[in-house]
Amino acid sequence: MSRGVSGRLPVIITIVLAIMLTVVPLPEWAEPFRPNWVALTLIYWAMMMPRTWSVGTAWIVGIIVDVAQGTILGQHALALCFIVFFTVRFHLLMRVFPMQQLTATVFALIALYQFILFWVNGVAGIDVPLSSYWGPVITSTLFWPVMMAFLSGIRMRVQHGR
């Protein structure tokens, strides 16, 4: 348990940072291309430590994102649950994927995420053209290798420290 506390704090910090990045103001032209930092972070930790960071975490983080963005309560929670569920389900497979294949998987996961947002918005009557959902999918995929390197660095440090 003691290792749990010391190991969890850095992960929580990365998640909090990701939430902050989702509310940092961007210039108007960059707004539709904001990478989905929260989803990337959660995918990484769910893949590497699926026992600790699973659908429960994803749901709580999703609710926080919903409140921070003023979206329908449960929208991001639902979307994050979905992608983290698939990540945890296939984490052993994803860990041995070569980088290109893993990046392609992340692309699919983020596309699923955006589709769920689109779908919930559609049901709720918030009418936004489908094309505006593609920006985050593309930038998130492009940022995945960087994000993975960064989070791996943190994970190595945590595991050495313990």
Partner 1 sequence: MTSVDTVSRVPALGVRFAALLIVSIVLMVLDHRQNHLQAVRQAVGAAVYPLQVIVDSPFRLWEWIREGTTERNQLQLEVSRLQAERLLTNARLQRMTALEAENARLRDLLEARDQVRDEVRVAEIMAVDANPYRHNIVIDIGELEGAYDGQAIVDAAGVIGQVIETGLANSQAMLISDPSHSLPVEVNRNGLRTIANGTGEIDRLDLPFVTNNADIRPGDLLVTSGLGGAFPAGYPVAIVETVTRVPQEPFADVTARPAASLDQVREVMLIWSAEDQPADNQPAEETPDE
Q: Which residues bind partner 1 (CB under 8 A)?
A: 16, 19-20, 22-26, 28, 31-32, 34, 50-51, 54-56, 59, 62-64, 67-75, 77-78, 81, 85, 88-89, 92, 117, 120-121, 124-128, 132
Q: How far is CA 111 from the centre of its chain?
A: 12
Q: How far apart are the first and last CA of the chain?
A: 12
Contact 41, 19 (CB under 8 A): no
The rounded distance, in Å, linking the Cα atoms of 8 and 25 is 28
Is 80 or 106 the residue whose CB approaches partner 1 more closely?
80
- For the record, the structure tokens of 41 come out as 């972070």
User: Which two three-digit tokens encode residue 136?
Assistant: 């985050």
Least Å distance, CB 83 to partner 1, is 11
Least CB distance to partner 1 at residue 67 (A): 4
User: What is the Cα 107 distance to its own chain's centre?
Assistant: 11
10 vs 23: CA distance, rounded Å? 20
Distance, C-alpha 75 to centroid of its chain: 14
User: Please, which residue, 16 or 156, has the CB nearer to partner 1?
Assistant: 16
